[in-house]
Amino acid sequence: MWRFLGTRLAMGFLTIWVTTVLVTLLIHAVPGDPVQIMYAQSQGTTPEQIEQVRRSLGLDQPIPIQYLMYMERLFQGDLGVTIRGGQPVLEVIVQRLPNTLMLAVTAMFIAVLIGVPMGFLAAYREGTLVDIGLMFLSIAGISMPHFWLGLMLLFFFALELGWLPVSGNGGLNLILPALTLGLSNAAIFARLTRSSMIDVMSQDFVQTAFAKGLPKALVLRRHVMRAGLLPVVTMMGLQFAFMMGGAIVVENIFSWNGVGRMAVEAIFQRDYPIIQGFILTFSLVVVIVAIVIDALYAVLDPRIRRA
């Protein structure tokens, strides 16, 4: 088991390291002069100021040196300053990150709590109307663009019915964005759970359990469910990453003050320090969650726990 986790951890570090490299190179991929572009929209910056920024970012140095400068600043917690207001990027991100995380985690809860039982039920009643109905629902759910779902929910619950607020942060405001993100992903969990359960049910050891005279409900609960949920756990890591991605759009619809909204604004404003900081943070969060989920899986699957 430790070997398994060790490999995962190593890959995680590798990913983060590659991210830092890519992030430094990002600025150079921009066609044209990045510093000019960054400051194109802010009035009154003198050529000397631009030169200063250029030197402080190390853009006049060869790339490896730049990278070292970037890493040095990174370890000191300095992610640069925003173009707009000159705030430290780290501060801006730290302010907003908890909001995004809250959104993603809540959405994950919703997705799992709705999706997994749905899939389980569909598998249990495989081939019946219940199964067909649920699966049609889920395929419809997957096909629906989550930004459209968000708009529709906004329209019905906030504007038409006035039950929930339209935008803002915290509290009741969490419900609509979390629902939007959660429902679209619930469909994926439903399908995955169903196919995993059906797969497990066709395995030999289920026959053995029946051959012992155990009733269907007991077999499902003790044998099928535990074995079938393992792939679902693995999926959770992947789905979390998707949800983080989806959060970017959802935050925009509901004016939720998280890092996703920050990133999109930054792209429009060509605020590269924020974009770099965002990419790094996003990667870090995704990698950490993936490792945590892998650790959970290693504990749950006896084949890995006692390899």
Partner 1 sequence: MSTPLLSVRGLSIALGADARPASLVQDVSFDVSSGQILSIVGESGSGKSMTAKAIMGLLPPKASASGTAMFRGQNLLAKNATQPRGTGIGLIFQEPMTALTPVLTIGSQLTEAMVFHGLANTSAAHRRAAEMLDRVGIPNPAQRMRQYPHELSGGMRQRVMIAMMMLLEPDILIADEPTTALDVTVQAQILDLLREIVFDTKIGLILITHDMGVVAEMASDVIVMKAGKLVEAGSVQQIFHAPNAEYTRALLDAVPSIETAHPASPSTESTVILSARNLHKTFRGQRGLGLVGPKTKALDDVSLDIRHGETLALVGESGSGKSTLGRVFLRLTEADQGSVELENIDLLALTGSQLRLTRRKIQMIFQDPYASLDPRQSVGAAIAEPIIIQGSVTKSDRRETVDALLTRVGLTPEMATRFPHEFSGGQRQRIAIARAIAAAPDLIIADEPTSALDVSIQAQILDLLADLKQEKRLTMLFISHDLAVVRQVADRVAVMRQGRILELGPVDDVWSAPRHPYTKALIEAAPVPDPLRKRGLRTPLSGRFATGKLTEAAPGHWVAL
Partner 2 sequence: MGITVGMSAHSAPAGFWRRLFLSPNGVVGLMIVLGLIFCAIFAEILAPHNPAKMGTGGRFLPPSGDFPLGTDEFGRDMLSRILYGSRITLLIGAVAVGISMTVGMLVGMLAAFHRGWLEMILMRSTDVLFSFTETLIALSFVAVLGPSLQNAVIAVGVAGIPFYARTCYSAALVETSKPYFEASISAGAGPGRLLFFHLMPNVLPTMIVVATLGVSTAILAAAGLSFLGLGAQPPTSEWGYMLAGSRDYINRAPWLMTIPGLAIAITVLGFNLLGDGLRTSLDPVERK
Take residue 73 and report the two structure tokens written for it: 């600043």
Give the residues across from 81 on adjacent strands: 88
Cβ proximity to partner 2: between 4 and 147 the closer is 147
Among residues 271, 256, 291, which one has the least CA distance to residue 100?
256
| 307 binds, options partner 1, partner 2, none, Cβ within 5 to 8 A by partner type | partner 1
Of residues 132-161, which lie at the interface with partner 2 (CB under 8 A)?
A: 139-140, 142-148, 151-152, 154-155, 159
Q: With binding defined as CB under 8 A, does residue 130 bind partner 2? A: no
Q: How far apart are CA 276 and CA 278, in angstroms?
A: 5
Least distance (Å) from partner 1 to the CB of residue 138?
24
Among 45, 242, 295, 296, binds partner 2 (CB under 8 A): 242
Q: How far apart are CA 111 and CA 119, in angstroms?
A: 12
- What is the helix (H) or strand (E) element at residue 172, kind and residue range? none
Q: How far apart are CA 267 and CA 30, in angstroms?
A: 12
Cβ proximity to partner 2: between 147 and 225 the closer is 147
Q: How far apart are CA 42 and CA 152, in angstroms?
A: 37
| 264 binds, options partner 2, partner 1, none, Cβ within 5 to 8 A by partner type | partner 2
Cβ proximity to partner 1: between 130 and 159 the closer is 130
What b-and-e string marks burial along 266-280, b requiring 16 or more CB atoms within 10 Å of the CB? beebbbbbbbbbbbb
Using CB under 8 A, list all residues that contact partner 2. Answer: 11, 14-15, 18-19, 22, 26, 29-31, 139-140, 142-148, 151-152, 154-155, 159, 241-242, 244-246, 248-249, 252-253, 263-264, 266-268, 272, 275, 279, 282-283, 286-287, 290
